[in-house]
Amino acid sequence: MTSMDEVLICDSEALVDGGEGVRFPVTMFGEAATGFAVRYHGKAYAYLNRCAHVPIELDWVQGQFFESSGEYLMCATHGAVYRPETGVCAGGPCRGGKLRPIGVREADGKVYWQPDERVTPAADH
């Protein structure tokens, strides 16, 4: 992929370690969906905003993906928790599940996501 295929999510400073995430529109298998980016231990990560337990968005309050300690991503509906650096289920009803990763790159003070064969830019982008 060339950098022309990358899509801007936000400025780097918008992602604070263990803090609020940034949502962005994507298309997943032709359907409108949402991705989200967070920062964990200094690095940006992005995932499809869909719980592995039940296919619903993780954040009840928009942008709130971390649980109170800032160590795990949590689905607000049933309490499934995921490791921010891998998206792998760490507890709760998502046993053996994993969040769908979205490629992300940080450069020149900006965070970009990288479309792939399943997750593409939103139709109105």
Residue 29: pLDDT band by 50, 70, 90 thresholds? Answer: confident
Non-local CB neighbours of 53 within 8 Å, separated by 6+ positions: 75, 78, 80, 92, 93, 94, 97
> Within 10 Å of residue 100's Cβ, how many Cβ atoms?
16
Sign of the dihedral through C-alpha 22, 47, 82, 62? positive
Q: What is the pLDDT of residue 17?
A: 96
Region 70-84: what's the mean pLDDT? 96
Q: What is the pLDDT of residue 123?
A: 77
Kindly tell me if the per-residue pLDDT of 1 is higher than 60: no
> Within 10 Å of residue 108's Cβ, how many Cβ atoms?
7
Q: What is the pLDDT of residue 30?
A: 86
Write down all domains in the chain, each with its CATH number in brackets: 3-116 (2.102.10.10)
Q: Which token pair is 118?
A: 């399943």
